[in-house]
A = this chain, B = another copy of it.
Amino acid sequence: MTKPPVSDERRPANDGPKAAARNRTALVAAAREIYAEHGLDAPLSAIARRAGVGQGVLYRHFPDRDAVAGAVLEENVRQIERAAAAPDATSESVLGVLTWHLTESAAFISLLCVDGTGRGSRNLAYATALSERVERALDGHLPDSVGVPLRETSDLMLAVAMVSGAVTGPTREQRERRALAAWRLLGVTVGPVHPFNE
């Protein structure tokens, strides 16, 4: 009377290695939602619950809470990189995508608008690396601007931080309106605000 191969009780959904990638994706998506709803200080348990996995899985994929935020930002940053690498990329189109992410992801705002005064200092490593990837992506897409010109990418990154600071409000629409008003004050034209490939 050998036991059936799969399991004899309620199997906790051990789908083998296939599940690993699926779980990681689910965790990042869940984290994005939770961050949007409750801010970056939301408990990790909420993220695991939303993803439908145990907390142990979260720790298997991410060593600490900063790694979770980093993974969420990774996706934002990648879209900007791809927008910048597109054959028909213009400063306007790239800023449109960047602005989309600013309005959609509270975590992304925090990335670019860190107060730098120590609070989030735990994970400067992650934040700095990601921030530099954004900077590199924007390099070569310096927009024209009415009034004071942006002369270098560092000026543009400053402008991005400034727009980040302006992006407040409870709904995405309000945040988009504020972001566009901010770009206008800077004299910068922004293309359609949308995600890159979604």
Beta-carbon contacts under 8 Å, A114-130 to B: 114-120
Chain B contacts for A169, CB-based, 8 A: 116
- State whether the Cβ of A49 lies closer than 8 Å to any Cβ in chain B: no
Beta-carbon contacts under 8 Å, A145-179 to B: 145-148, 150, 155, 158-159, 161-170, 175, 178
Tell me if B39 and A118 are in contact (CB < 8 A). Answer: yes
Tell me if B159 and A168 are in contact (CB < 8 A). Answer: no
Tell me if B37 and A118 are in contact (CB < 8 A). Answer: yes
Tell me if A118 and B158 are in contact (CB < 8 A). Answer: no
The residues of A with any CB-CB pair to B shorter than 8 Å are 36-41, 106, 109-110, 112-120, 145-148, 150, 155, 158-159, 161-170, 175, 178, 181-182, 184-187
- Quick one: which of A37, A40, A185 has the most chain B CB within 10 A? A185
CB distance from A1 to the nearest CB of B (A): 25
Chain B contacts for A178, CB-based, 8 A: 158
Output the nearest chain B residue to A159 by Cβ-Cβ distance.
B185
Tell me if A168 and B115 are in contact (CB < 8 A). Answer: yes
Chain B contacts for A186, CB-based, 8 A: 148, 162, 185-186
Partner of A36, one of B117, B148, B161: B117
5 tightest Cβ-Cβ pairs between the two chains A and B: A147-B147, A165-B165, A39-B119, A116-B168, A162-B162
CA distance A35 to B110 in the complex (A): 17
Chain B contacts for A112, CB-based, 8 A: 165
Chain B contacts for A182, CB-based, 8 A: 158, 161-162
Chain B contacts for A40, CB-based, 8 A: 119
Tell me if A170 and B117 are in contact (CB < 8 A). Answer: yes
Chain B contacts for A38, CB-based, 8 A: 118-119
Q: Report 15 cross-chain contacts, Cβ distance below 8 Å, ordered by A residue.
A: A36-B117, A40-B119, A106-B117, A106-B118, A109-B115, A110-B115, A114-B168, A116-B168, A116-B175, A117-B170, A146-B148, A147-B147, A148-B185, A148-B186, A159-B185
